[in-house]
Amino acid sequence: MKKLIEKIIRWRNPSFRFDPFLNQTAIIQFVWVHGWAMIRGLRVFLYFKNPKGAMFGPKVSFFNLPKIKWGRFLKLGKGVYISALGKKGVVFGDNVGIGSYSRIVVSTSLNHLGEFIKIGNNVGIGEYAYLGGAGGLEIGDDCIIGQYLSCHPENHNFGDPESLIRQQGVSRQGIKVGANCWVGSKVTILDGVTIGEGSVIAAGAIVTKSFPANSIIGGIPAKLIKRRIENV
């Protein structure tokens, strides 16, 4: 049984191997949980969508499902909410995993729609993430991201002290995270930031400006600690 399950999992992750210390009870429970997740994924047939091997935890919900697109083996944890209220909606690549209780929200306003959220292939995002897409959010292929990621591609204008801040509108530039990045837990990325591919962001960082490829950054606000590749 162990070898069969391992072979099935390799359809999604070709390099997967069970740890030799893994006990049989854990494998049985794993199969039970993920089997039900695949059954829940089949409910998108009711909306004329192809599940493509999707696995949904309990209480996964969508808003504006026609503007949500995904590749093979999308995995959504318990309580994930995805709203594609926006100009271009939400796009997930192949083998994307979103941790439990995360919120993927392009925009919340009916009178000023946001742009898009695009997440590349083989991206894993931990629990309790909040991804906004008002000015556009793109996360490249093969990124690994810890819990509580927060992305906010929008700023409120506040230049006029005589007017209410909520009535002064917003500015939007967008956020882009390059491919093959490692983002630690509890990182916040603000509007206008581009993170170059191959970069590492330390846990708890607040990123307010852009960094080139292969940067290691951390702090509040985030600063360059060193480069992964020297003399470039």
> pLDDT tens, 57-111?
999 999 999 999 999 999 999 999 999 999 999 999 999 999 999 999 999 988 8
Q: Please, what are the averages of pLDDT over each run of 10 residues along the chain (232 residues)?
A: 79 83 88 92 91 96 96 97 97 98 94 95 98 97 98 95 93 97 98 98 98 97 93 60
Considering only CA atoms, which of 127, 130, 133, 79 is closest in space to residue 108? 133
**Does CATH number 3.40.1670.10 belong to domain 51-227?**
no
- DSSP secondary structure code for residue 20 in this structure: T
Please report how many Cα atoms fall inside a 13 Å half-sphere around the Cα of residue 115, on the Cβ side: 18
SS3 content of the chain, % helix, strand, coil (to 5): 15, 30, 55
Q: How far apart are CA 49 and CA 68, in angstroms?
A: 10
Residue 14: per-residue pLDDT: 84
Q: Six-digit token pair at 76? A: 């959504």
State in Å, rounded, how far the first CA of the chain is from the last one: 50
DSSP summary character for residue 32? H
Separation CA 57–CA 156 (nearest Å) = 34
Query: Could you tell me whether strands 55-56 and 75-76 are parallel, antiparallel, or unpaired per DSSP bridges?
Result: parallel
What's the pLDDT at 105?
98
pLDDT in the model for residue 230 = 75
Predicted local distance difference test score (pLDDT) of residue 198: 97
| Res 49: pLDDT | 92
CB 207 within 8 A of CB 217: yes
Tokens in use for 134?
Answer: 């008002």
Question: Among all residues, which ones are annotated catalytic?
Answer: 156
Residue ranges per domain, the chain? 51-227
